[in-house]
A and B are shown apart, each in its own frame.
Chain A
Amino acid sequence: MSKSRYRQRLQKDLDRWITGGLVAAENRDAILSDIADAPRGWSASGALAILGAVLMALAAISFVAANWTHLGNLVRLILVFGTLWACFLSSGWAFGRQQPALGHALALLGAALFGVAIVLVAQIFNMSSWRYTVLSIWAVGAIGTALVIPSRPVLILAALLGSSWVWAETFNPYAPGILWNYLPLWAVTVIAASRMRSLVTANLLAIGINVWIIFLLWDYAQDGRLSELQSSSVLILACGASAMLFAAFRDREWFGFGALANWATTLALFSGFIAQFPLDRFEARLGRNEEAIDGWLEIAGVSGPDYWLLAGAFMAILAGALAWRFMTRPATRTLTIPTLAAALAALLLPSLAGWLGGESILVLRVIVGVIVFALAIALILYGSREGRRYTGGVGIALFIAQTLYVYGETFGDLLDTSLFFLIGGLLLFGLSIAVIRLQKRITADAGAPS
């Protein structure tokens, strides 16, 4: 609904509520002015100016990339430097003339030209070791600009550059280990995003931090320090811990942390879902060749210190955030037991796999399958509450994905799968009837004379 339409509707509702005695007449103007003060999404002129700045920034990047030899190095440097200064000075002038849309667009172009200038210098001196570090330096420059103004469009650029940096280094075979420098950059950007109420930035930061977590685990897994199941378990716990931590901040009304929590929740559930894949692959291999049992250790792994260090740390964060929410947000208490149970299952899954051994692969697959189904159902039930639609939606998506997956892959043979679905279906029907009876009893108790 557009703001003007909302205002018209609110005016009518307010008049009706004042007539009905629900709202004091003297509060009418204050309520309407509060609507006027609230930050707007964007205007047509602002959007066009920002899009224009984006295209001009791309023109500058392409111009530098073309390495046009008709202009000397010094002329090109002066051109880029001059434009950068002109953008920032014009931006200050535009803000002073109460033209914020133009001011933001020019500041965005100025911040973009900072990166263009770094690329130009790197090109002039044939630098080859800079190529991803440039994104981090550029992001720092953009964050500085965004904080000084403050400017949401420039902050979006900073988040985009930070996420691009961690993404590029993830796929860079020469990346120097874990990118710890991303964390302070991320933290500063996320605080700025929360203060400036930038949802786009929050979503970009969510992508960045999740890529960073995957990068961290990949670094451990490629050295053989984590097996496939251990990697899956740590990923589930890492995403679960960050989801719970972000949700705790969301509970305290920190803007943008809802988006961060939603991304982390989705990735945690997706990680749980794909944890089944190595088990399926092993069972298929075992069916073709009995000697494949020797490969079980590669999947289950051994209880090395690296696993328990990582998994234990994330489990502690998750438990701490869960306890915090339990104490400060009573409405979230129903989620405590399913979350703890799922986290413990993820933590102990590699040990359980090692203990059962490769011969009991079917039992393990059924256990994991049941846990995924149970978690999906718990989320759907939790999502039936007001304001928890995203959680419910993710639960439904997980349930559908798991159902199709089990049907496609089958547990043992088709008869076993059919029996699995039959028992599951009967259990859900029974649960549904129990819930209906419980609700009726609660309604009857509430209506009975005391």
Chain B
Amino acid sequence: MKLSIRLILVAAAMSAFLIAMIADHNIRRTTGDEVILNLEPVDPRDILAGYFVILSTPIHQIDLVEIAGDDEFSVDGDIYVVVEPDDDGSWQPAAVYSEPPSDGLYIHGKVQTASVSRVSAHYNLERYYADEETARALEERRRTDRASMRLIVSVSGDGRAIIRGLEIEGERVIAPFL
């Protein structure tokens, strides 16, 4: 086989992988159920992907004493957080399980630390990438008016969550894919 053809096949294989990655995430982001979470961001920088805001929401640190469901979780194990909206439209953790629950809208995560009373977990919702100016503005807003920002998340049927955008002072900020 000619070298040019082989290189085209390499480029095609790489492109196919990237397109599959884009399609999977875009479908999940646009078609999943929408959940809005309160957040507390800070802004560091990634060596490859640039500036981002670290996100922490009520589902990241869960008090097992106050929440229904399972009481024991292992580090690196699965966690399924059932979320329900409160009066102002923010979704809050209602129950936690180590197996997928049979009903309710739930978000799937991985346990980072676990004790008898608390569990912390990651859900692939911990970073919001932005240009330097926006990241700093978000951090400034966090210091001055934390309650004015919320995270908009798309949750698919298997519990995988993808960030859809932010809500700042009631206004939705969602970067269109196209």
Contact = CB atoms under 8 A, between A and B. Distances in A.
A89 B50 CA distance: 29
A124 B177 contact: yes
Contacts of B76: 176-177
A114 B7 contact: no
Interface in B43-74: 46-52
Nearest to B130: A67
B49 A148 contact: no
Contacts of A10: none
B4 A92 contact: yes
B134 A69 contact: yes
B22 A121 contact: yes
Contacts of B26: 125
A92 B7 contact: yes
A122 interface: yes
Interface in A113-145: 114-115, 117-119, 121-129, 131, 134, 137, 141, 144-145
B18 A128 contact: no
A171 to B, nearest CB: 13
Interface residues of B, number: 47
A144 B13 contact: yes
A200 to B, nearest CB: 22
Interface stretch (B80-88, B97-105, B118-126, B136-144): B118-126
A73 to B, nearest CB: 6
Interface string B106-121: 0000101000000000
A66 B46 CA distance: 11
A368 to B, nearest CB: 36
Contacts of A124: 22, 25, 129, 175, 177
B10 A93 contact: no
Interface residues of A, number: 48
A126 B166 CA distance: 12
A69 B176 CA distance: 12
Interface in A80-104: 81, 84-85, 88-89, 91-93, 95-96
Contacts of A64: 48-50
A369 interface: no
B148 interface: no
B50 A81 contact: no
Nearest to A117: B18
A74 interface: yes
Contact of A128 (B3, B13, B124, B131): B124
A141 B129 CA distance: 25
Nearest to A124: B177
B10 A148 contact: yes
Contacts of B8: 88-89, 92
B26 to A, nearest CB: 8
A128 B127 contact: yes
B122 A174 contact: yes
Contacts, number: 134
A67 B18 contact: no
B120 to A, nearest CB: 11
Nearest to A176: B76
Nearest to A110: B11
Given A123-B50, A127-B25, A141 B14 contact: yes
Nearest to B28: A125
Most chain A beta carbons < 10 A, residue from B10, B26, B162, B163:
B10
Contact of A69 (B7, B22, B125, B131): B131
A288 to B, nearest CB: 35
A129 B122 CA distance: 8
Interface string B1-40: 0111111111101110110011001100100000000000
Contacts of A61: 48
Interface string A176-216: 11000000000000000000000000000000000000000
A95 B3 contact: yes
B10 A128 contact: no
Interface in A45-79: 61, 64-69, 72-74, 77
A219 to B, nearest CB: 12
A92 B124 CA distance: 39
Interface in A11-60: none
Given A61-B48, A84-B15, A73 B131 contact: no
Given A85-B15, A118-B18, A134 B6 contact: no
A125 B51 contact: no
Contacts of B124: 127-129
A276 B15 CA distance: 53
Contact of B126 (A85, A125, A128, A177): A128
A81 B122 contact: no
Nearest to B109: A129
Contacts of A73: 175-178
Given A67-B130, A148-B6, A149-B7, 8 more contacts: A65-B48, A84-B11, A92-B6, A92-B8, A121-B21, A125-B163, A126-B129, A174-B122
Interface of B: 2-11, 13-15, 17-18, 21-22, 25-26, 29, 46-52, 76, 110, 112, 122, 124-132, 134, 162-163, 175-178
A-B CB proximity, top 4 nearest: A92-B4, A65-B50, A128-B127, A126-B163
11 contacts: A61-B48, A72-B178, A73-B177, A74-B178, A92-B6, A92-B7, A95-B4, A127-B25, A128-B126, A131-B48, A176-B76
